[in-house]
A and B are shown apart, each in its own frame.
Chain A
Amino acid sequence: MLEIEELTTDYGPIRAVDHVSLEVPEGSVMAVLGANGAGKTSLLRTLTGLVRPTSGHVRLGGRDITRLPVEEIVRAGMAHVPEGRGVIAELTVQENLRLGGLYRGKAAAPPSEIYELFPRLEDRRGQPASRLSGGERQMLSIGRALMGRPRVLLLDEPSLGLAPVLVAQIMSLIRRLADTLGLTVLLVEQNARSALSIASRGVVLNLGRVVAEQDPQKLVADDQLLHAYLGF
């Protein structure tokens, strides 16, 4: 579903993404791991089009989306839940959700579907998003991304700042979405263990380069690797 071929992104003299090649099959979860500054976020931002790659290709469902503007990439079916959640604090929960589906028009999911997934959000639908807790914001940003019925979901550190119980809930939810909706998920995480627990495949980045790509069980077992690149 998602093919990344020799993708390279430079910020001036700094190479943030270095000839990354990945293939993410439909309906699977790929965990992208690495320390701070390894290039995980830059990779996602390049995929979504917020940043222009220097070279390489990105294909979504066979279609080359490499140099399209962000709005077109989103319409092609790629949703990105950014680092920090990106919840628009000035808008209400309902408005945030509606916003997520506008570009799909009639084909968008009805908010009720999202509220079924996240009943807590329905309780707070009229409140400004600024009042939500960290966990609720994460639910909102994922729910908002799902409004557009995307084919690919990019998640940037969803566990950041959340209590372990919530992290586990979010992770199992992501797994469920991939399994039931056939959603293809690229999950960027520093919390390697929880990400690997739901992933079908794991990738480790360092200095923008792929240094390991493995089945998650093997990655979890590889203490040397985890220690070298992820610090534990």
Chain B
Amino acid sequence: MTKFIDLTLNGISTGAIYAAVALALVLIWRSTRVVNFAQGAMLMVTTYIASAVIGSGGSYLLGFVVALASGFLLGAVVERVAVRPVESAPPLNAVILTLGLYTLIVAVAGMIWGNTPRSFPAAFSLRGYTVGGTTLLFTPNDTFIVLVVIAVAVALALLFRGTSLGLRMRAAAFAPEVARLLGVRVGRMLTLGWALAAMTGSLAGVLVAPSVFLGPNSFDPILIIGFVAAVLGGLDSPPGAVVGGLALGVTLSYVSGYEGSALVPLAALAILVIVLMIRPTGLFSATRERRV
């Protein structure tokens, strides 16, 4: 029984991380109709930067903030320079482009920091809570992870639904040409969308780094599972991304706990395929398929 509870709690914590990655992918998809396969690599880089800051004497908080800020910047730069040219091209071009970005970024990271994974500090204690006589697998750091991700998700929701800027961003995402006719600077909105998305991705990076260690390829599984979570919830739906991430986190936690961690990527694949067969646009998206 304790194993089940442990797995569930652990699943919620990893699920929060998947939710953050999924959120990043969904935000980018909504604004530019591109799946950012380079997201995992981008958040890896910002985590390295945070590691460098902390390693040279900065506090964890400083490293955390730097990671988010550099994620924001990186997202804006990538969109403006590399992705803008393929936004109106056939979707295949964007897929290959982001894959190329992923490959390049991972390679360059390996060149700069080497391929051996290193450790990354956690924000809070990694000792599990003790309830009754048992020590749970859920730690204060896990609480932090879940709370931060929820806070960011809520903040983004408020931004999009409650502010003029959010309104402009949504208009630019839903109907870019009409938005231009209404004076919206669509290009800037798209860049901003990428910046916010990449920042969310960077958040996932620093939160998960303590457990997966920091290496050029450490975040690959996170990206894949985050993608599955995004598809699960519907690439168009930010709330879907959060729910999808949490649900997937818990499910995969059970798979890992009862069948072994080697099966996790295949389990994620199975879930992906099942969802795509049943409801190609995801479980939470509006039924209307936007493209034929």
Instruction: Report whether B164 and A71 are in contact in the complex, using a CB–CB cutoff of 8 Å.
Output: no
Number of CB contacts from chain A to chain B under 8 A: 60
Q: Are B184 and A103 in contact (CB under 8 A)?
A: yes
In the assembled complex, which residues on chain B have CB atoms less than 8 Å from the CB atom of A74? 180-183
Chain B proximity mask over A70-86: 1 for CB below 8 Å, otherwise 0: 11001100011010001
A95-B167, A98-B164, A98-B167 as given contacts; A103 in contact with B182, CB under 8 Å: yes
Q: Give the CA-CA distance A100 to B175 in the complex, in Å.
A: 13
Interface SS of B by simple majority: helix
Q: What size tier do the contact residues of chain B reach?
A: 10 to 19
Give the shortest distance, in Å, between A109 (CB) and chain B (any CB).
13
Q: Is B174 an interface residue (CB 8 A)?
A: yes
Whole-angstrom distance between the Cβ of A47 and the nearest chain B Cβ: 11
Q: Please tell me if the beta carbons of A99 and B181 are within 8 angstroms of each other in the complex.
A: no
How many residues on the A side are at the interface (Cβ–Cβ under 8 A)?
A: 23
B248 at the interface (CB under 8 A from A): no
Q: How far is the CB of B231 from chain A (nearest CB, A)?
A: 20
User: In the bound complex, how far is the Cα of B168 from the Cα of A64, in angstroms?
Assistant: 27
Q: Kindly list chain B residues whose C-beta atoms are within 8 Å of the C-beta of A148.
A: 182-183
Q: Is the interface of A mostly helix, strand, loop or mixed?
A: helix
Which chain A positions have C-beta within 8 A of B168? 99, 102
Encode contact with A along B137-177: 1 for CB under 8 Å, 0 otherwise: 00000000000000000000000000010011011001101
Task: Tell me if A144 and B182 are in contact (CB < 8 A).
Answer: yes
B181:A88 contact, CB within 8 angstroms: no
Whether A80 contacts B181 by the Cβ 8 Å rule is: yes
Q: Is A90 an interface residue (CB 8 A)?
A: yes
Q: Which residue of B lies closest to A105 (CB)?
A: B164
Cα–Cα, bound, A74→B181 (Å): 7
Contact A99 B171 (CB under 8 A): yes
Contacts of B183 in A (CB 8 A): 71, 74-75, 102-104, 148
CA distance A99 to B183 in the complex (A): 9
In the assembled complex, which residues on chain B have CB atoms less than 8 Å from the CB atom of A102? 164, 167-168, 182-184
Which residues in B have some Cβ–Cβ distance to A below 8 Å? 164, 167-168, 170-171, 174-175, 177-185, 286
Beyond A71-B183, A80-B181, 18 additional pairs, beta carbon < 8 A: A50-B180, A50-B181, A74-B180, A86-B181, A88-B175, A88-B178, A89-B174, A90-B170, A91-B174, A99-B167, A99-B171, A99-B179, A102-B168, A102-B183, A102-B184, A103-B182, A103-B183, A104-B183
